[in-house]
Amino acid sequence: MARRHNDPARTREQILIRATEEFARLGFEGGRVDRIAARCNLSKNMLYYYFQSKERLFVAVLERMYERMRDQQKDLALRTSDPVVALEQLVRHTFAALRGDPTIIRLMNEENKHKGRYLKKSQRVRELYDPLLETIAFILERGSKDGVFRKGLDAALIYLTFCSLCYHYLSNQFTLEIALGRDMSSEAAHSEWLAHAVETIMRECCSDTERTSLRKSA
């Protein structure tokens, strides 16, 4: 096995990439640290030099997943001064992120199977979610002041709503396709559902005046 690499940050990232693949494919119990180390051309002891234990490595994988999603969501939401566009971008990005990287859903399913046991040990997860909720609250408040969103909208509820619309569809699309006898996994089906998800969120958030405009434009 290779000695410790001269670039610790790069080595750490390589370990996280391989560990993400391993845990997403086999779960926490099925994932093997020695297999991850071998794929990184490291000794098992060297991997533990970076992450101390299998549990800490799994927590780091979860944190990395959330960090990447949160960074992109924040950038998208603040790129425009239009609250309607900003909220739509968040919905579309959430769907695209889950669709584009199946490991996200697999890792979330795995951690939910453990009832959040490992994520509870994270020192970062609340730090990652708080700014996201603050961003959504800022968008909703700005929209309320502009008269396009209703007053008193709960940022956490709005997040839960659009995240559920994206996550449930994608995580269950193949079983639902069989159960409903309906195309759920094609490009066209995804586009149709995303348009529906965006419209659902907008109808929930928009003021009475804006809802009238939405009905007329439908």
Q: Which residue has the tokens 């951690």?
A: 111
Q: What digits encode the pLDDT tens for the residues 86-127? A: 999 999 999 999 999 999 999 999 999 999 898 898 888 888
**SS3 category, 149:** strand
Q: What percent of the chain has pLDDT over 90?
A: 71
Q: Contact at 8 Å (CB) between 70 and 97?
A: no
Question: Does 53 have pLDDT greater than 90?
Answer: yes
Which amino acid, one-letter code, is at 143? G
| Domains, the chain, ordered by start | 1-52 (1.10.10.60), 61-217 (1.10.357.10)
> Residue 157's pLDDT is what?
97
Tokens standing for residue 112:
């939910």
Per-residue pLDDT reduced to its tens digit, 136-145: 999 999 999 9
1, 42 contact by CB (below 8 A): yes
Q: Which of the four pLDDT bands, split at 50, 70 and 90, describes residue 131?
A: confident
Average pLDDT, the chain: 89
